[in-house]
Chain A
């Protein structure tokens, strides 16, 4: 039995794990270390309600103070883990070594920077509350021409909020098909169509060659020789896991902290959330999932793994699920489609931007996508959990009509 658990990363995965420990009856010390000075908050509203100005930041807190306080968690905010030695069971916090008993790594990810834009005022990324408030302040100050670089989900949500606030938005994507990395070409095009229908100037298959100027007067030059003027630029070209502090720790790092199928990264160390990489026992694939639901589920799983013996340890085999709110559409995806999977619309219609679609490969259902179809996606997720075959899944969907 462990006396204490140290958690690095005081955000979604870390906090939910700490709460789970207490609810499971763990009476030992829980130390939750986070670099950001703010009380732990939720990120999805940063590209939705908070950015839109509909919510003040306090509403995005993960757990209200009065619920957190009785749990007796030692919350150490504004403090950074700077190193780890797994063999010596020592953590280094702001340069000072301290021993740990059991450790959960939940340091998440940070935004990738577009080369050439480092430190350029007027160019934003969106990961933290401070990032969100900076973009919101620019919009409040009257910025009404926005360029979003990267047609991923965060960029798409920022575009949709900016359109909702009356800005004109240009969405630039270097790849020929937007949203294709996650959804494949065909369904990516449907999401792109929603943006075009809402007045976004979508430019695909063309890279950005430079960004110059400053707030209120920026020019984004494209590889095809065209220019777009903007008051502000938001870059959403993906994230990189925060593993720099783990160099030389003894853990295996490979685009994330590499764990076994139970979330164990090394002796007495587990990892969860955006930073964790593990082998999915369902498919044998190496996975790192950057979704909200996974951070919660994996945080809970990993911290329980930390308290379990090797014999008790259970594999972590979730069906990934995420949602994204864009304009008045709710997009949800369960499972992991491959770019060349067969796609079949099983309910509603893509033209109306209301539908559910199945992805399949080799006779198996691999994913379910919904636009304003939450119940179907959740039922589809159940089918994925059961490992449903393609024909059986279609038979279930036939009853949805």
Chain B
């Protein structure tokens, strides 16, 4: 499983960070950084929640 963020869509509102702070981080520069692009399979449910809850539909799961 790979986490891919479309930075043209992302508006750094940090909803994903609230769900999984060890994977998504919005820093002081107001950009989103993906800290872990390949979270373990046991995290799939949580990553899918992030996909669903991202209001800009900027997050995709590949694989």
If A296-B53, A297-B53 touch, does A378 touch B45 (CB 8 Å cutoff)? no
Please indicate the chain B residues that have their CB under 8 angstroms from the CB of A323 in the complex.
11, 13, 55
Interface residues of A in 313-347 (CB under 8 A from B): 323, 330, 332
Assembly CA distance A381 to B14 (angstroms): 11
Dominant SS at the A interface? helix
Question: Which residue of chain B has the shortest Cβ distance to A322 in the bound complex?
Answer: B55
Assess the A23–B55 pair: CB atoms within 8 A. Answer: no
Interface residues of B in 30-45 (CB under 8 A from A): 30, 45
Assess the B18–A382 pair: CB atoms within 8 A. Answer: yes
The answer to whether the Cβ of A290 comes within 8 Å of any Cβ in the partner chain is no
Interface residues of B in 4-38 (CB under 8 A from A): 11-15, 17-18, 26, 28, 30
Most chain A beta-carbon neighbours within 10 Å: one of B26, B52, B53: B52
Question: Which residue of chain B has the shortest Cβ distance to A16 in the bound complex?
Answer: B52
Assess the B30–A375 pair: CB atoms within 8 A. Answer: yes
Most chain B beta-carbon neighbours within 10 Å: one of A20, A42, A296, A375: A375
B53 to chain A, nearest CB (A): 6
A180 to chain B, nearest CB (A): 24
Please indicate the chain B residues that have their CB under 8 angstroms from the CB of A382 in the complex.
18
Assess the A296–B52 pair: CB atoms within 8 A. Answer: yes
Please indicate the chain A residues that have their CB under 8 angstroms from the CB of B18 in the complex.
378, 381-382
If A23-B48, A293-B15, A332-B13 touch, does A378 touch B53 (CB 8 Å cutoff)? no
B3 to chain A, nearest CB (A): 16
B46 to chain A, nearest CB (A): 11
Question: Which residue of chain B has the shortest Cβ distance to A293 in the bound complex?
Answer: B55
Assess the A378–B13 pair: CB atoms within 8 A. Answer: yes
Number of A-B contacts (CB under 8 A): 41
B1 to chain A, nearest CB (A): 14
Assess the A374–B57 pair: CB atoms within 8 A. Answer: no
Please indicate the chain A residues that have their CB under 8 angstroms from the CB of B45 in the complex.
23
Assess the B11–A19 pair: CB atoms within 8 A. Answer: no
Assembly CA distance A377 to B30 (angstroms): 12
The answer to whether the Cβ of A266 comes within 8 Å of any Cβ in the partner chain is no
B37 to chain A, nearest CB (A): 20
Please indicate the chain A residues that have their CB under 8 angstroms from the CB of B57 in the complex.
42
The answer to whether the Cβ of A44 comes within 8 Å of any Cβ in the partner chain is yes
Render A291-318 as a binary contact track against B, CB cut-off 8 A, 1 for contact: 0110011001000000000000000000
A11 to chain B, nearest CB (A): 14
If A23-B48, A381-B18, A382-B18 touch, does A375 touch B12 (CB 8 Å cutoff)? yes
Please indicate the chain A residues that have their CB under 8 angstroms from the CB of B11 in the complex.
323, 330, 374
Assess the B55–A378 pair: CB atoms within 8 A. Answer: no
Render A13-33 as a binary contact track against B, CB cut-off 8 A, 1 for contact: 000100110010000000000
Assess the B14–A375 pair: CB atoms within 8 A. Answer: yes
Assembly CA distance A377 to B57 (angstroms): 19
Assess the B55–A44 pair: CB atoms within 8 A. Answer: yes
B14 to chain A, nearest CB (A): 4
Please indicate the chain A residues that have their CB under 8 angstroms from the CB of B26 in the complex.
374-375, 378
B4 to chain A, nearest CB (A): 14
Interface residues of A in 189-220 (CB under 8 A from B): none
Assembly CA distance A381 to B17 (angstroms): 12
Question: Which residue of chain B has the shortest Cβ distance to A291 in the bound complex?
Answer: B55
Assembly CA distance A381 to B45 (angstroms): 23
B25 to chain A, nearest CB (A): 10
Please pick, from B14, B48, B55, the residue contacting A292 in the complex, using a CB distance under 8 A. B55
Question: Which residue of chain B has the shortest Cβ distance to A61 in the bound complex?
Answer: B57
B30 to chain A, nearest CB (A): 6
Please indicate the chain B residues that have their CB under 8 angstroms from the CB of A374 in the complex.
11-14, 26, 30
Please indicate the chain B residues that have their CB under 8 angstroms from the CB of A20 in the complex.
52
B residues contacting A by CB (< 8 A) are: 11-15, 17-18, 26, 28, 30, 45, 48, 52-53, 55, 57
6 inter-chain pairs at a CB distance below 8 angstroms, sorted by A residue, are A16-B52, A293-B53, A332-B13, A374-B14, A374-B30, A378-B13
Q: Other than the known A300-B52, A378-B15, what 15 A-B pairs have Cβ atoms closer than 8 Å?
A: A16-B52, A23-B48, A44-B55, A293-B15, A293-B53, A296-B52, A296-B53, A297-B53, A323-B55, A330-B11, A374-B11, A374-B13, A374-B26, A378-B14, A382-B18
